[in-house]
């Protein structure tokens, strides 16, 4: 069964450094998403992306964050200057959309980001 793949599985970075998290969505999916989950807390929406532009972003997704689809398969999340509070699991997801009812979002295995 097709799946969303994320790399790396674990990223350790010094505070203030830039980090890029990578995702390969399911090939026929059109919508792409990033979520994060701080340890012990809810899964939180960061951003959705469709047709090469951001559809929606949360208040968490400030100027330090950016997303890009550099080619036909990859979808990346960049954090420009990491903070300690950016430490979390980051999940990429993708979906198709048909009519008025959305098909489910399928999640990758996540990248654990640890900021030192």
Partner 1 sequence: QKEVEQNSGPLSVPEGAIASLNCTYSDRGSQSFFWYRQYSGKSPELIMFIYSNGDKEDGRFTAQLNKASQYVSLLIRDSQPSDSATYLCAVNYMEYGNKLVFGAGTILRVKS
Residues that bind partner 1 (CB under 8 A): 31, 33, 35, 41-45, 47-48, 50, 54-58, 89, 91, 93, 95, 97, 100-102, 104-110
d(CA 74, CA 83): 25
Q: Which is nearer to partner 1, 82 or 95 (CB)?
A: 95
Q: How far is the CB of 77 from partner 1 (least distance, A)?
A: 15
Q: Which is nearer to partner 1, 17 or 102 (CB)?
A: 102
Greatest Cα pair distance in the chain: 45
Handedness of CA 46, 50, 74, 104 (dihedral sign): positive
Q: Which is nearer to partner 1, 13 or 103 (CB)?
A: 103
Q: Are 13 and 82 in contact (CB under 8 A)?
A: yes
């Amino acid at each position: 069964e097709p799946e969303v793949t994320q790399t790396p599985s674990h990223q350790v970075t010094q505070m203030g450094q830039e980090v890029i998290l990578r995702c390969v969505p399911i090939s026929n999916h059109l919508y792409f998403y990033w979520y994060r989950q701080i340890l012990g807390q809810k899964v939180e929406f960061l951003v959705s992306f469709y047709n090469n532009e951001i559809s929606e972003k949360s208040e968490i997704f400030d100027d330090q964050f950016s997303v890009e689809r550099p080619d036909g398969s990859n979808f990346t999340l960049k954090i420009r200057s990491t903070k300690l509070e950016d430490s979390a699991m980051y999940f990429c997801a993708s979906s198709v959309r048909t009519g008025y009812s959305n098909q489910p979002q399928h999640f990758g295995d996540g990248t654990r980001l640890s900021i030192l």
